[in-house]
Every structure is written in C-alpha cells, then in structure tokens.
Amino acid sequence: MIKNYIYTLLNRIKIEKKYNIALNNLINYLRDSKFLNDDNVESAFRNIPRHEFVQTSELDRAYSNEPLSIMKNQTISQPGVVSRMTEWLDIKDGQKILEIGTGSAWQTAILSYLVGTGTVYSIERHSELVKFAKENLEKFSLNNTHVILGDGSLGYPQASPFDRIMITAACQEIPLPLLEQLADNGLIIAPVGDSSQSLVLLKKTPKGIIEIKSQSHYIFVPLLGKFGKKN
C-alpha cells in the first residue's frame, strides 16, 4: 500500500520534472525566435501548463512548438502563435475579453490569467469541445472565465462591448458583428485569408477601424458559422 503510494508519488515527480525541462526548452526557443518577448506572457505559460490541455495521446508533444489535434478535427494552437497573438493583443488587468474558438481552452486560460480582475468570454461551436474546455479549465482556480456553446461569428452581444477580441480560427473577413461589439479604442486580432492567413491586429478609433500590424504565413482551421466560411 505505502509502497504503491511512494511509487505513484515518485512517478508524478518524474513526470513534472520532464515537463519542466521541456517547458524551459520551449520558452528559450520562443524567446530566441522572438515569438515570446513579454515577461507576463512567459509567466502565463509557466502557470498555465499546456500539458493540462492536450489529449493523453499527445502528452509527449505538449511542449513542442506545433499545433496538436484535439477532438472534432480541430487543433490546440502552436505555442509560438499563442504567445505572439497574446502579446499583440496587449492585455491589461480588468479588461473584458471575447475569444472565438475555445478549442482546448489553453489560450482562454492564458487570457484569463493575464486579465486578472477582468473577464473572459469564450465561444465554441462544438459541444464536445465545450465539455473538454470546461474540464481543462476546472483544473485551475480561474473564476473569471465563461465558456459558451454557440456561433462565435455572431459575437456575444449581451456582454459587449469588449476591450479585446481574439479570433483563433481563420476568417475570410472579420465578421461585422465582432467589429461592432469592440469597445472604442479596443483591439481585435484574427488570422485573415484563405488557405494561408495573415495575422491582423486592428484598433477601433474615432476615425474608424485601423490596422496596427499584420504578418503573413499563418495556418488556422476555418471559422465557420453565419459570418464565417460557408461549409
């Protein structure tokens, strides 16, 4: 009995150590390649471990810089893409954030960690993924996150306006309802394009929507729904 307990405990310590080394290697790689520059985002990566959001079959690759498959043919985004999108979105404590495409909820949890006293609303169209996301989030005491089943291309008008909006699926164009639900001076980030997308960061200003920056060569699964790609 005690022998079993000690064995399990030692095994767990071994596994945690293995993940820690892999996480440090990933962070060093992302820092060197300039995908990760912000200490707060690094702290989010350390406090919201990716291995808690991947499927058991993918655990060995939890800290490689690649997207991994989750359910329903969807993917948990690549760490470098998550750090870049999070940094560009410039999250501040207390903000209200809308995320479209919850998937595993790893990105959701990172936003939740960074927004502190603020709130994150995240919308996912697959009920299986909503369940998966909620189970993953329950492992952390993040009580500022709402995962909602629905069509994110319509946004979430009942909680708008949002200081920040992040779309984690490829848009042919940014859905109009999301631009409408962005607060004044708010930022929205999305991959825009067909087979390959540009990551685009836009700001709502008194003069209208302006592009802050963009960068090509990203690949995301498509945003579906009323204002998304037609399937």
Binding-site ranges for ligand SAH (CB under 6 A): 74-77, 100-101, 103-104, 106-107, 123-126, 129, 151-153, 168-169, 221, 223-225, 228
**Residue 95 or residue 153: which is nearer to ligand SAH going by CB?**
153
* Shortest spacing between CB 18 and ligand SAH, in angstroms: 22
* Shortest spacing between CB 23 and ligand SAH, in angstroms: 17
Q: Is 190 exposed, middle or buried (0-12, 13-18, 19+ CB in 10 A)?
A: buried
* Shortest spacing between CB 72 and ligand SAH, in angstroms: 6
Catalytic residue of the set 77, 122, 153, 160: 77
Catalytic residue list contains 33: no
* Shortest spacing between CB 144 and ligand SAH, in angstroms: 17
Instruction: Answer yes or no: are the C-beta atoms of 122 and 146 closer than 8 Å.
Output: yes
**Residue 74 or residue 181: which is nearer to ligand SAH going by CB?**
74
**Residue 66 or residue 184: which is nearer to ligand SAH going by CB?**
66
**Residue 71 or residue 212: which is nearer to ligand SAH going by CB?**
71
Which residues are annotated as catalytic? 77
